[in-house]
Amino acid sequence: MTKTDQPRVIIFDTTLRDGEQSPGATMTHEEKLEIAGLLDEMGVDVIEAGFPIASEGDFTAVSEIAKRAKTSTICGLARANFKDIDRCWEAVKYAKSPRIHTFIGTSPLHRAIPNLTMDEMATRIHDTVTHARNLCDNVQWSAMDATRTEHDYLCRVVEIAIKAGATTINIPDTVGYTAPRESADLIAMLLARVPGADKVIFATHCHNDLGMATANALAAVDAGARQIECTINGLGERAGNTALEEVVMAMKVRNDIMPYRTGIDTTKIMNLSRRVSSVSGFPVQFNKAIVGKNAFLHESGIHQDGVLKNVETFEIMKPSDIGLTAKNIAMGKHSGRAALRAKLKELGYELADNQLNDVFVRFKALADRKKEVYDDDLIALVADEQTNDAHEYLQLKKLRVICGTEGPQEADMVLAIDGVDHHIDATGDGPVDAAFMCVKMLFPHHARLEVYQVHAVTEGTDAQATVSVRLQEDGRIVTGSSADTDTIVASTKAYINALNKLIVRRTKSAPGDDVKTVSYMDQK
């Protein structure tokens, strides 16, 4: 079978909906538009852009993404009620190819929450899918918690949804409970038993609570599912969703036993992974399949020797397949702008001239402080440039810190607030606390620090630190990040970055927006 004869698997990305649902992974409006643009360019078939009824912010993001999408279908989520579905349609209708995705929990546990009998739920499914289909030709219906739903009842409601006009039927493993064989059997059972099943696309939507999301999704495809729902880096509630990069690369690398094709340009994977990690504030674990920092590193002598003799001894795919083309050759302070531009291009970044100029200035400053500037340093630097806009409301101008074994630690800071410089000093329980105290005194707020994480970008004591900070204020959750060779500077900038996001969120969303006030259980 040639590649073009192979069944096509639709890639449905839900980074901006299920992924963004992870507490603290909230993205700003601009970040969502950027990620959606990158997903579209990468060849994702369907982008689930958000849950339009959830907040004004979600609604605006979904409608703006719908207006901008070039080739991807844009989908919004709606519970099984007319109000949600109408709001969803209002947001997605601008897309060249819109989709309404409506769902209800069908398992006994989920049926008990809205207190619907089996018959009442069946009627609700019929009515809501019919309503969605009257608005939009492309309707997806999901049986939330399908893997814990009685088979007879699942067949019954899937048949009702198909008859009411659903074009895609999604079978979610909402709590990551299933295993590969069961996942395949469930799809096979539905295809065999449900009248009309051959007229629709079956989708698989797996969560990773037992670490089987990728295996379960691929098993479902083997049984006949033709849409995989996934997220970049496996971002998502609890242990996350199926990782896009894993299923796509698995079908590419093991095409001999998984003969399916996708429309994904895999060379764009690495860049997307970095951007999603950076804007969500969720670092990618070092040993994460495909996109982890160590995924293509060969540490042991035997492995290094083998790879040098024949790269295929220990590498089943090429780094370039996912867009890792650069050799990790350090740049130094004598490297010029053209070399930097070329290097960034190799790393997957094509910056506008003004952005390149800013990165170049920062690169020179970094090269003065650090003997060798590695690829990962440059990646951190670009991410920082993209995250910390020079026109933000709060900007760190100067910071000096006195710390050591004798307390109290002291910070002396100049912070620009709306373009006006303010000076202050403060003491604290450690240098980070002292620096944060300065910010808090100059810009009073009651946001609570929920997460503070520091990672070294490269080895050595002169390595840059990347810091992420998560704040919560009145139910609004924001994550800020920054990088610097000085950990205290990186921490302060990450804190300020989070506050700048919070300032934007205060104007765009209601209190409590991120601690979802709309519950999936509430189907009224």
Q: Confirm or deny that 18 is annotated as ligand binding.
A: yes
Give least dist CB 103 to ligand KIV, A. 5
By C-beta, is 22 or 278 nearer to ligand KIV? 22
Residues 190-249 close enough to bind ligand KIV by CB under 6 A: 205, 207
Q: How many residues bind ligand KIV (CB under 6 A)?
A: 9
* Candidates 16-24, 183-191, 253-261, 479-487; binding stretch for Zn ion (CB under 5 A): 16-24
The reply on whether position 18 binds ligand KIV by CB under 6 A is yes
CA angle 48, 49, 54 (to 5 degrees): 110
Contacted entry of Zn ion, ligand KIV, none for residue 464, CB cut-off 5 to 8 Å set by kind:
none
Q: Confirm or deny that 446 is annotated as ligand binding.
A: no
By C-beta, is 18 or 385 nearer to Zn ion? 18
The secondary structure element, H or E, covering residue 133 is helix 118-135
* Candidates 15-23, 328-336, 411-419, 502-510; binding stretch for Zn ion (CB under 5 A): 15-23
* Candidates 58-66, 168-176, 266-274, 407-415; binding stretch for ligand KIV (CB under 6 A): 168-176
Contacted entry of ligand KIV, Zn ion, none for residue 144, CB cut-off 5 to 8 Å set by kind:
ligand KIV
Residues 158, 185 contacting (CB under 8 angstroms): no
Task: Give the list of residues 6+ apart from residue 203 with CB closer than 8 angstroms, or none.
Answer: 10, 12, 140, 142, 168, 169, 170, 171, 225, 226, 227, 228, 229
Give least dist CB 220 to Zn ion, A. 14
Q: For strands 465-473 and 476-484, give the pairing.
A: antiparallel
Closest by CA to 447, choosing from 457, 458, 436, is 436
* Candidates 91-99, 166-174, 262-270, 447-455; binding stretch for ligand KIV (CB under 6 A): 166-174
Give least dist CB 229 to ligand KIV, A. 7
The secondary structure element, H or E, covering residue 467 is strand 465-473
Calculate the alpha carbon distances from 179 to 9, 176, 210 in Å.
Answer: 20, 8, 9
Residues 197, 189 contacting (CB under 8 angstroms): no
Q: Confirm or deny that 126 is annotated as ligand binding.
A: no
Q: Confirm or deny that 170 is annotated as ligand binding.
A: no
By C-beta, is 171 or 469 nearer to Zn ion? 171
Tell me how far apart the alpha carbons of residues 364 and 101 are, in angstroms, rounded to a whole number.
49
The residues pairing with 207 across neighbouring beta strands, listed in sequence order, are 241
Tell me how far apart the alpha carbons of residues 438 and 398 are, in angstroms, rounded to a whole number.
12
Q: Give the single-character DSSP code of 148.
A: G
Closest by CA to 279, choosing from 15, 99, 463, is 15
Distance of CA 270 to the CA centre of its chain: 13
Among 35, 104, 122, 144, binds ligand KIV (CB under 6 A): 144
How many Cα atoms sit within 13 Å of 516 on the Cβ side? 21
Mask: binding to ligand KIV, 87-126, rule CB under 6 A, as x and -? ----------------x-----------------------
By C-beta, is 92 or 415 nearer to ligand KIV? 92
Contacted entry of ligand KIV, Zn ion, none for residue 103, CB cut-off 5 to 8 Å set by kind:
ligand KIV
Return the number of other C-beta atoms located less than 10 Å from residue 199's C-beta.
8
Backbone phi, psi, residue 312, to 5°: -75, -10
Among 172, 234, 323, 431, binds ligand KIV (CB under 6 A): 172
Which residues does the annotation place in the binding site for Mn(2+)?
A: 18, 205, 207, 241
Which residues does the annotation place in the binding site?
A: 18, 205, 207, 241
Contacts with Zn ion, residue ranges (CB under 5 A): 18
Contacts with ligand KIV, residue ranges (CB under 6 A): 18, 103, 142, 144, 170, 172, 174, 205, 207
